[in-house]
Structure 1
Amino acid sequence: MKSFLFANHDLRGIDVPNRIVMAPMTRCRTDQPGDIPNDLMATYYAQRATAGLIISEATQISKQGQGYSFTPGIYSDDQVAGWRKVTDAVHKAGGRIFLQLWHVGRMSHESFHADGKPVAPSALSPDAQVWVADPVTGVGGMVDCPVPRALTLEDIAGVIEDFRKGAANAIAAGFDGVELHGANGYLIDQFLRTTSNQRDDIYGGSQENRIRFLKDVCKAVADEIGADRVGIRLSPFITQRNMNDPEIIDTMLKASEEIERIGLAYIHLSEADWDDAPQIPEQFRKDLRNVYSGTIIVAGKYTKSRGEAILKAGYADLVAYGRPFVANPDLVARYRNDLPLDELDGATLFGGDGKGYTDYMPSKAA
């Protein structure tokens, strides 16, 4: 039987040797102070370089864009140099890697902001928590997000510029491209939804206005590094974090039309991955294919068989795997040879050292 997962794919001139993508996953292993990528991270990513494409963990474009402890940045010279270690290691191992650019917006904590106020389209609470650690001990836990302050038009222009600079820095650090994090209730997503955006200026109100921030960021980044090297992650069906907007599916499809016009290389769908999550309607997948002609990546509790099925159906071109890649650095070989998967240690996901990070071993059978 023909396998779709192991066929190659042309991502706008980048030869992707298989359809198995390593999904972006926050792991909080940077050097402090400065949220600087390090040798341990380089080892971690290089171990997983057999993925058709690696999408890095979410990386803040500015200090203002941070919402969790020890997540990496891409706005300082030291961070760029740290990421260069990662890209060099991945490329030496034969891999391809995009950097996910991130501004969390209201999904943050007062400890990351001089005035104690995260920023957002509107001063509305996400009713959610973020992971914050003691900077000395490294021990962390989930804490409530405060009510943010609303961004001014001048602030918004500054954030768009931060995305542009982040993309330029990513290329300087050796990445093959960037992914804009427009999903999961973070800043770009917050602008799209009526439940988080209640502005009355050019960035709020109508669907066209709520899409404007996404469009402006996409254009700025595409103009800087080329649209062929830019993807975006979207999550139409999430409802957590006060993001349950009845208009969002139509808004997302209209946003995808703008993404098509700008010419971005791919759309990465972050599908809800909890046990009782809503199923993605087949009609949405058809509608997305009708308005967007580029590569589509899907992520969200996919197994090998589910990945094969959605590729065969033509609703996706690549399938991203998250947690399976944590505990199985050789996931591609395990899937290719139908080998069992190791289980991850959930207690070691965020923060710490190599335990539960670089000490997972490849299968001896593989």
Structure 2
Amino acid sequence: MKNALFQPVKLGRHTLNNRIVMPPMTRSRATQPGNEANDMMATYYAQRASAGLIVAEGTQISPMGQGYAWTPGIYSPSQIAGWKKTTDAVHAKGGVIFAQLWHVGRVTHPDNIGGEQPISSSALKAQGVKVFIDNGTDEPGFVEVVEPREMTKADIEMVIAQYRQAALNAIEAGFDGIELHAANGYLVNQFIDSEANNRTDEYGGSIENRLRFLDEVVATMVDAIGSDKVGVRLAPFTSLNGTVDATPEQTYTAAAALLNKHNIVYLHLAEVDWDDAPETPATFKRAVRDAFDGVLIYAGKYDADKAAQTVADGLADMIGFGRPFVANPDLPNRIKHGFELATHDPATLFGGGEKGLTDYSEYNQ
């Protein structure tokens, strides 16, 4: 059964060795000042290059797009050069790596964006949401987010242009493609979900209107780098960072159909993964499969058996394993042979140095 995860799969111009994805995970190790990807990050990703596909951690497309301290960007020449270290290291090991392009919208604090007020689809504060700032120590200091201002038409056009440029920058940095982060309560998600968007123009109200920003961002990136290099991540049923949709099955089936028209290379769906989270409805998974022709990736609470079953059932083509990749750089090999999985140290997930990033070892019998 586990063999289902070890069949090759076509992703655009690439034939991937397995169907195991290392999904994007914020680690906050970028070099300061400048938020640049560095040698340490290159080592970390290269250690995990046996994944069928790596999607690198969320990478802000502009200074305003940053939500947390010490996350990498992809808008300056030095940031592009920094990421080239990672892509070269992963390619040297035969891996395939996409960049995740990120704008957090309202999920930030002025201290992370040069003292500016955050921007969003609407002037609605994300209730009870905290982000971490650099408070002058090695430990992230958590603060509550502030109320954003509603984006003007000019703001929307500017951010769409920033996404386009970030896609071009990612290709220049050697990435094999990009994933648009349209999940988990960040900017694109703030337009999509009904309870985070109270606009009265063509970007608010109906499902079609709330999907317009997603549509325009994807269109410009496809135009810039080609549809075979563009993936999108959505989170239909999560309420992360305060975004909730009134009719998620309807909204996100429509989103899948819309993205199918752009012929993007993959659709990556993040499932709710807290302890007593509800399962994603099977009816929804089938509806998405019917609506979308490209590679379909799910990530959530998957173990090897559930992942293999989901692929064998045809509901997904690839499965993302997030936290297991932190402490198991050789995760595909461990899954294949049924080796025990190591557990990660939660205290070293964000910020810091090599400890908890590159010092986990491969399985030793």
Regarding TM over 0.5, the answer is yes
1:36 aligns with 2:36: yes
Q: Specify the code of the residue in structure 2 equivalent to 1:170.
A: A
- RMSD between aligned alpha carbons? 1.0
3-state DSSP of counterpart to 2:212: helix
**1:126-165 equivalent positions in 2, closer than 5 A:** 126-127=126-127, 128-134=129-135, 136-165=136-165
Q: Specify the code of the residue in structure 2 equivalent to 1:77.
A: P
Q: CA deviation at 1:218?
A: 0.3
Q: CA deviation at 1:253?
A: 1.1
Report if the CA contact (8 A) 1:237-1:278 is conserved: no
Report if the CA contact (8 A) 1:268-1:298 is conserved: yes
Report if the CA contact (8 A) 2:2-2:304 is conserved: no
**Corresponding residue for 1:288?**
288
Q: Which runs of 5+ in 1 are unaligned?
A: none
Report if the CA contact (8 A) 1:9-1:18 is conserved: yes
Q: Specify the code of the residue in structure 1 equivalent to 2:50.
A: T
1:87 aligns with 2:87: yes
Q: CA deviation at 1:46?
A: 0.2
Q: CA deviation at 1:89?
A: 0.3
Q: CA deviation at 1:242?
A: 2.7
Q: CA deviation at 1:194?
A: 1.4
TM-score, with length taken from structure 2: 0.98
Q: CA deviation at 1:299?
A: 0.3
Report if the CA contact (8 A) 1:192-1:248 is conserved: no
Distance in 2 between residues matched to 1:246 and 1:206, nearest whole Å: 12
3-state DSSP of counterpart to 2:196: coil
1:5 aligns with 2:5: yes
Distance in 2 between residues matched to 1:320 and 1:87, nearest whole Å: 20
**Corresponding residue for 1:316?**
316
Distance in 2 between residues matched to 1:157 and 1:263, nearest whole Å: 23
- Residues 2 and 97 of structure 1: CA distance in aligned 2, closer, same or farther (over 3 Å): closer
Q: CA deviation at 1:251?
A: 1.3
3-state DSSP of counterpart to 2:201: coil
Q: Specify the code of the residue in structure 2 equivalent to 1:121.
A: S
Q: CA deviation at 1:138?
A: 2.6
**Corresponding residue for 1:325?**
325
TM-score, with length taken from structure 1: 0.98
Q: CA deviation at 1:226?
A: 0.1
**Corresponding residue for 2:211?**
211
Deviates more, 1:234-243 or 1:87-96: 234-243
**Corresponding residue for 1:16?**
16
Distance in 1 between residues matched to 2:133 and 2:164, nearest whole Å: 27
Deviates more, 1:201-210 or 1:47-56: 201-210
Distance in 1 between residues matched to 2:49 and 2:244, nearest whole Å: 36
Distance in 1 between residues matched to 2:2 and 2:102, nearest whole Å: 37
**Corresponding residue for 1:52?**
52
Distance in 2 between residues matched to 1:59 and 1:113, nearest whole Å: 14
**Corresponding residue for 1:113?**
113
Q: Specify the code of the residue in structure 1 equivalent to 2:247.
A: E
**Corresponding residue for 2:66?**
66
- Residues 2 and 77 of structure 1: CA distance in aligned 2, closer, same or farther (over 3 Å): closer
Distance in 2 between residues matched to 1:71 and 1:241, nearest whole Å: 17
Q: Deviations over 1:84-104 (max 9, x none)?
A: 000000000110000000000
Q: Tell me the percent identity.
A: 49
Distance in 2 between residues matched to 1:38 and 1:48, nearest whole Å: 16
**Corresponding residue for 2:297?**
297
Q: Deviations over 1:66-116 (max 9, x none)?
A: 000000000000000000000000000110000000000111111123454
**Corresponding residue for 1:265?**
265
Distance in 1 between residues matched to 2:224 and 2:177, nearest whole Å: 11
Distance in 1 between residues matched to 2:94 and 2:100, nearest whole Å: 20
**Corresponding residue for 1:167?**
167
Report if the CA contact (8 A) 1:299-1:319 is conserved: yes
3-state DSSP of counterpart to 1:3: helix
1:337 aligns with 2:337: yes
3-state DSSP of counterpart to 2:194: coil
Distance in 1 between residues matched to 2:113 and 2:13, nearest whole Å: 40
**Corresponding residue for 2:349?**
349
Q: CA deviation at 1:343?
A: 0.6
**Corresponding residue for 2:255?**
255
Q: Specify the code of the residue in structure 1 equivalent to 2:131.
A: V
1:236 aligns with 2:236: yes
Q: Specify the code of the residue in structure 1 equivalent to 2:235.
A: S
Report if the CA contact (8 A) 2:2-2:336 is conserved: no
Q: How many residues align?
A: 364
3-state DSSP of counterpart to 1:336: helix
Distance in 1 between residues matched to 2:299 and 2:114, nearest whole Å: 35
Report if the CA contact (8 A) 2:196-2:244 is conserved: no
Q: Specify the code of the residue in structure 1 equivalent to 2:308.
A: E
3-state DSSP of counterpart to 2:90: helix
Q: Specify the code of the residue in structure 1 equivalent to 2:85.
A: K
Report if the CA contact (8 A) 2:195-2:246 is conserved: no
**Corresponding residue for 2:279?**
279
Distance in 2 between residues matched to 1:165 and 1:254, nearest whole Å: 27
- Residues 325 and 64 of structure 1: CA distance in aligned 2, closer, same or farther (over 3 Å): same
Q: CA deviation at 1:2?
A: 6.3
1:182 aligns with 2:170: no
Distance in 1 between residues matched to 2:353 and 2:324, nearest whole Å: 19
**Corresponding residue for 2:225?**
225
Q: Deviations over 1:111-130 (max 9, x none)?
A: 12345411100010111111
